[in-house]
Amino acid sequence: MIKGNLYKLASLSFSDAGYVADVDLLPGSEIFKAHFPCKPITPGVCLVQIAVEIASVIEKRNLTLAEAKDIKFLSVISPLEHKSVRYELSKMDDEGKWVVCIYAGGQLCSKMSVRLCNV
Amino acid sequence: MTSRSVKITDIIPQRKPFVFIDSLLECDESSAETSYLIREDSIFTENGVFQTPGLIENIAQSAVAKIGYISKFIEHDKVTVGYIGNVHHLIVKRNPEVGETIHTTVIFGENIAGIQLCEAVVRVGNEIIAQSSIKTAQDASMPVDD
Do the Cβ atoms of B15 and A73 come within 8 Å? no
Q: Does B95 touch chain A (CB under 8 A)?
A: yes
Structural domain containing residue B127: 3-143
Q: Does B109 touch chain A (CB under 8 A)?
A: no
Q: What pLDDT score was predicted for residue B146?
A: 54
Which helix (H) or strand (E) segment holds residue A52: the answer is helix A44-59
SS3 A93: coil
B80 pLDDT more than 90: no
Q: Does A69 touch chain B (CB under 8 A)?
A: yes
Give the lowest-confidence range in A24-28, B55-59, B141-145.
Answer: B141-145
Mean pLDDT of chain B: 94
The domain ranges of chain A are 7-118
Indicate the pTM of the whole model.
Answer: 0.96
Average pLDDT for B57-63: 97
Q: What pLDDT score was predicted for residue B145?
A: 63
CATH value at residue B45? 3.10.129.10
B82 pLDDT more than 80: yes
Residues A7-118: name the CATH superfamily: Hotdog Thioesterase (3.10.129.10)
The answer to whether the beta carbons of residues B36 and A52 sit under 8 Å apart is no
Cα distances from A14 to residues A17, A58, A59, B73, B127, in angstroms, run 8, 10, 12, 52, 41
Do the Cβ atoms of B46 and A1 come within 8 Å? yes
Do the Cβ atoms of A34 and B17 come within 8 Å? yes
Do the Cβ atoms of A35 and B14 come within 8 Å? yes
Residues of A in contact with B52 (CB under 8 A): 48, 52, 64-66
At B2, the pLDDT band (50, 70, 90 cuts) reads: confident
Work out how many domains chain B is built from and give that number.
1
Give the lowest-confidence range in A24-33, A38-47, B45-54, B136-145.
Answer: B136-145
Nearest CA in chain B to A70: B88
Q: Say if the ipTM goes beyond 0.85.
A: yes
